[in-house]
Structure 1
Amino acid sequence: MQKILVIDDSRMIRMRVRDMLPSGNVQIIEARDGKEGLDLIHSERPQLIILDFLLPKKSGWEVYQDIQNTPDLQAIPLVLMSGRKEEVTEKISEPFEHFAFVEKPFEQEQLVKAIKEARGKATRKAKATAPEEAAASSQGGEDVASLKAEVAQLKEQVQTMQGQIDQLRKQMNQLVNFIKKKVG
């Protein structure tokens, strides 16, 4: 069952989008504001998000930023809706690389095209940002375990380097103090 989340403060828009989406193996979840929408994104993990840009409680811009700042949410295809494209371009410059945009009012054909575009962008982004993760998830747990081991190794190296940096700072301070005594 594919979950599609529609976040819009207008009941009419949510119903219109619901009517335009294919029926069948689809569960449509609705949110009336950005806060409720974000909660549902985290709890329901939809396969597609259709998000209005102007929302109460938490704006579509804020929801978009939260999605972009959460790596596992970035892979969810996103369609942004707005009555005025300028509202979106004031915050996010074109070309829109992380989502598809559809201007209200729209017809079913425009919505379907935007959904396909959003899925394509999400797929490209997932491949571009995490080729190792994509390989790991498609090849099974062994690759995930090796990636976790590699991350642990890198963290260990960072800790070692931090210790070396701290030691160099200490030596530098000693050298500066020695020079100050000799000059002063």
Structure 2
Amino acid sequence: MSAHKILVIDDSKVIRMRVRDMLPQGNFEVLEARDGLEGFNMIRNERPNLIMLDFLLPKMSGWEVYQEVQKEYDLKCIPLVLMSGRKEEVLEKLSEPFEYFAFVEKPFEQKDLVAAIKEAMLKAKKHPKPAGVMSTEPGYQTTSPGDGSAMAAELAALKRQVAQMSGEIETLKKQLGQLVTFIKSKL
């Protein structure tokens, strides 16, 4: 099983299979959801590394899934590719430019999918940190002056998170390189 998960939320089995077939084998675990409610539950439980979300879905629309994801910082930072055959319906809810996610219009080719994934990965990094996320900048105080042990523990925890995320980013870069190489070999 791969450490990196791509969640494809689409009510069309053809689209889900098409996305699966366009990705290189062995590099990703592709999870599938047939409706918005199932997809949102999988986002919460599986914490995928990439979400591919159809805008028009049964049970819970892609718009509703998007709105729920935006409520939690750790969910909204997951790279998101919004998919739709009707861009005008997407634009009714969200105006361009799409600042934090990528959009790909159906039907799409492999090169369109890869470009959207790259774009989503870059845009996901733009999310502003919420007020509760503290800075580790020198001179920035997160606790009271007399609470040095709590601050040291907090700082150590943040450093561990940064180290873990740095490793994950390097792995994602490597896998993206493999994806590009794979796609170039197929063209």
Gaps of 5+ in 2: 137-151, 159-187
**Which of 103, 113, 128 does residue 105 from structure 2 map onto?**
103
User: What is the 5 A alignment of 1:6-155?
Assistant: 6-125=8-127, 128-129=128-129, 133=133, 142-143=154-155
The aligned residue for residue 170 of structure 2 is none
2:155 aligned partner, one-letter code: D
Q: For residues 18-73 of structure 1, what are the alpha-carbon distances to aligned partners after superposition, in whole Å with 9 as ceiling and x for unaligned?
A: 00112222100000000000000011000000000000000000000001111110
C-alpha displacement at 1:98, in angstroms? 1.5
Gaps of 5+ in 1: 147-184
Q: C-alpha separation between the residues in 2 aligned to 1:141 and 1:35?
A: 38
C-alpha displacement at 1:135, in angstroms? 6.2
2:116 aligned partner, one-letter code: A
TM-score (norm 2): 0.70
- Runs ≥4 in structure 1, deviation > 2 angstroms? 128-136
C-alpha displacement at 1:132, in angstroms? 8.6
2:36 aligned partner, one-letter code: G
1:47 aligned partner, one-letter code: N
Cα 1:89/1:27, change in 2 over 3 Å? same
C-alpha displacement at 1:144, in angstroms? 6.7
Aligned length: 141
2:102 aligned partner, one-letter code: A
1:98 aligned partner, one-letter code: Y
Q: For residues 63-93 of structure 1, what are the alpha-carbon distances to aligned partners after superposition, in whole Å with 9 as ceiling and x for unaligned?
A: 0000111111011000000001101000001
Q: For residues 135-175 of structure 1, what are the alpha-carbon distances to aligned partners after superposition, in whole Å with 9 as ceiling and x for unaligned?
A: 66xxx9532769xxxxxxxxxxxxxxxxxxxxxxxxxxxxx
Structure whose alpha-carbon radius of gyration is higher = 1
**What secondary structure is seen at the aligned counterpart in 2 of 1:69?**
coil
Higher helix share goes to which structure? 1
* Root-mean-square deviation (Å): 2.2
Report percent identity of matched pairs: 65
TM-score (norm 1): 0.71
The aligned residue for residue 156 of structure 1 is none
